[in-house]
Structure 1
Amino acid sequence: MTTISLRHARVRYGPLEALHGVTVAAAGPGLTVLLGRNGSGRTTALRALAGTVRLSAGSVVWDGVDVTRMPAHERARRGLCLVPERQAVFGSLTVRENLELASRSYGVALDAYPPLEPLLARRAGTLSGGEQRMLALSRALLARARVVLVDEPAQGMSPPVAARTYELLSGLDACVVVAEQRLPPGLRGRAAVVHELRRGAVVFSGEAGEYESRAARRSASRPSA
């Protein structure tokens, strides 16, 4: 089993504090979701796990080892893969070249996302947003990482492709952490851990089913117009 966590993590962007002592944990194989609206801190939490933003306080612990001071490239070398929301592919390279950077044997990526096959000779920068997400996630699948961090995996995808994406992520033999604005339909009924962030703080931690029940109760308690 692989585990990764933030412990009492604080992150500052100049005078503004984006995370206020956040503690979240993820274990794998399995899927963990960081939920929250824009500005909630979910993306910052993901980047803190990856090491692409520095903590002003707190720690990052990976398999029981404090890696807070370990640079992002060293975390990547040790098996952590980050798929950011933007600039997740090399736009000047072809789809084939992007895949070959991850693995010379990239057939599994085309099995996962068949629409990429006729695009192999295209420059990645000319693809649509959904096609670029498929390519970025294909590279993550090929990396065989122990920890996979993805910011809004299904952004720009059609509902069937988004559902397929969550099937793929749920089936990885890795600790998978995704950041989303709301619980994806593809996760409903699946075993997943949810951490909801609001204004840089954790307001809920529990199973996806528990989160759905809680959200339904809140919706039902609101007065009708």
Structure 2
Amino acid sequence: MSVEMALRAARVRYGPLEALHGVDLPVPRATVTVLLGRNGSGRTTVLRALAGTVPLSAGRVLWGDDDVTRLPAHRRARRGLCFVPDRRALHATLTVAENLALSARGGDTAPALDTYPELRPLLARPAGTLSGGERRMLALSRALLAPARVVLVDEPALGMSPAVAARTYRVLSGLCARLGTAVVVAEQRPPAGLPGGTLAHELRRGTVSFSGELAEFTSRPRAAGAPPSGRA
């Protein structure tokens, strides 16, 4: 399994608090990787460290054979990284159509609208007026309209119905199969419907407590006190 990106002994601080404590985490090509953990575990911080939106206080970010630790987020994006955060992923004052046009190469928005036909009647609406699930569909359209080498998504199915959530995960898995994209998603609980070979890393208090296949994680005896809802 070829590794596209990786964190090596990564530490991240928010003021006096350290959020990641020397995390090692590979991101394989053509594979979905799921980051799991309860509130405050460090899931979102791992995504931000890979995307370059937070600096490391120690450790490295590798992309292939290159050390990109000091490469700013906009240059990682130009290199082929798409980061869809859980908030502030849209231009709220622009319409749905305008948001799609910003990401569409050559102006073709069909891949997003074919995946999320729910957006078609909303094209003239400002993005800020959409429901939570509609906003996630629009935000995730970025990954469909500008194919990337690495796609990072924080809580892809937030606010979606179960049917749309399942469709979303099928689409993300399809990026791996068709384009060889490395997909990393952060979720509170294991999502359903992902293909065999999906990888999982559980984070607890800024450290990795489990690494393996998602099927192995979900088949373990369930510990008392499942992760509650919340953000990392």
1:175 correspondence with 2:159: no
Aligned residue-pair number = 217
Distance 1:193 1:3 in 2: 14
Residue 86 of structure 2 corresponds to which residue in structure 1?
85
Residue 184 of structure 1 corresponds to which residue in structure 2?
191
Alpha-carbon displacement from aligned partner over 1:31-66 (angstroms, at most 9, x marks no partner): 001111110001001000000000000000011211
Residue 107 of structure 1 corresponds to which residue in structure 2?
110
Distance 1:130 1:21 in 2: 34
- Deviation for aligned residue 1:148: 0.4
Kindly provide the amino acid, as one letter, of the partner of residue 142 in structure 2.
R
Find the residue that maps to 1:205 and give its secondary structure.
strand
Residue 230 of structure 2 corresponds to which residue in structure 1?
none
Mapped contact 2:3–2:26 kept (Cα < 8 A): no
Find the residue that maps to 1:160 and give its secondary structure.
helix
Unpaired runs of 5+ residues, structure 2, are: 225-232
Unpaired runs of 5+ residues, structure 1, are: 221-225
Mapped contact 1:2–1:29 kept (Cα < 8 A): no
Kindly provide the amino acid, as one letter, of the partner of residue 180 in structure 1.
E
Find the residue that maps to 1:150 and give its secondary structure.
strand
Kindly provide the amino acid, as one letter, of the partner of residue 141 in structure 1.
L
Residue 217 of structure 2 corresponds to which residue in structure 1?
211
- Deviation for aligned residue 1:191: 2.5
Residue 223 of structure 1 corresponds to which residue in structure 2?
none
Pairing of 1:29-44 with structure 2 (within 5 A): 29-44=30-45
Give the alignment's Cα RMSD to 1 decimal.
1.2
With normalisation by structure 2, the TM-score equals 0.91
Find the residue that maps to 1:171 and give its secondary structure.
helix
Distance 2:46 2:127 in 1: 28
With normalisation by structure 1, the TM-score equals 0.94
Find the residue that maps to 1:75 and give its secondary structure.
helix
- Deviation for aligned residue 1:2: 5.8
Distance 1:112 1:2 in 2: 28
Q: 2:124 aligned to 104, 116, 121, which one?
A: 121
Mapped contact 1:162–1:186 kept (Cα < 8 A): no
Kindly provide the amino acid, as one letter, of the partner of residue 203 in structure 2.
L
Distance 2:3 2:80 in 1: 11
